[in-house]
Amino acid sequence: MKNSVVIVEDHALFSQALTSLVNSLVQYEVLFTVKNGAALLKSLKKQTVLPDIILMDIIVPAYDGLETISALKIQYPRIKVLVLSKFENKKIILKTILAGAKGYLPKDAEKGLLRKALIELQDKGFFHTKEVAELLIGALHPATKSEVELKDRELEFVKQACTEKTYKEIAQDMCVSPKTIEGYRDAIFEKLNLKNRTGMVLYAIKNHIFSP
């Protein structure tokens, strides 16, 4: 049984081309196409069988793309939305993901990448390119070295924590008590919005505090 796809796109030529492209993939078929979000939500109410995936442009007339994605998340949570857009603004991409989209692709993506995106949407429930994944990580951990100032002793602790030493051993090397080390750790976790030592190590490597 093929996976069903709906396309939301107001440019007729691109909509037709995308329909042909999706239908050329063995596992997928286009149920119908609409020009905007309002038409999409209206059409879905009439469907006895809902689509598996919706491919939609984020900028469409009559009903804003972000509003449509948010409405789909509430009314049809099982449908996976993959945004296709000519806009590569990081803020827009992040907003689409936060609104409920399960992936993002630029409109000039190659056929192979589209196929990969559709497959991963079905298998994993989401699809993110390397660039989008890095964007999401950055949004979850926005603190950077330039934004947060660590004290000299905190920096020394971070470097020590990047080794295989235990916290007790670090305390001995720094000539402080284990409780002081715990204080350094807790303060750094709070400043950098981190939850564990692994996150601290990744932060140190990313910000050139420590080189493995």
HSE toward the beta carbon, residue 43, CA cutoff 13 A? 17
Do 57 and 10 meet the contact criterion of CB atoms below 8 Å apart?
yes
Residue 149 to residues 41, 123, 164, 171, Cα–Cα distance (Å) = 49, 42, 25, 22
Please indicate whether the domains covering 3-140 and 152-206 agree at the CATH topology level.
Answer: no
Look at residue 2 and give its three-state secondary structure: coil
pLDDT digit string (tens) for 141-154?
555 544 577 889 99
Looking at residue 33, its pLDDT comes to 96
Domain residues of the chain, as ranges? 3-140, 152-206
Distance CA 205, CA 199 (A): 10
State the pTM of this model: 0.64
pLDDT digit string (tens) for 99-128?
899 999 988 888 999 999 999 998 888 998
Look at residue 207 and give its three-state secondary structure: coil
Q: Which fold has domain 3-140?
A: Rossmann fold (3.40.50)
The answer on pLDDT for 12 being more than 80 is: yes
Bridge partner list, 174: none
Q: In which element (H, E) is residue 158 found?
A: helix 152-161
For residues 55-65, average pLDDT = 75
Q: Please say whether the structural domain 152-206 has been given the CATH code 1.10.600.10.
A: no
Tokens in use for 123? 């298998």
The answer on pLDDT for 59 being more than 50 is: yes
pLDDT digit string (tens) for 75-104?
999 999 999 887 667 778 888 888 899 999
**Pairing of β 80-85 and β 103-106:** parallel
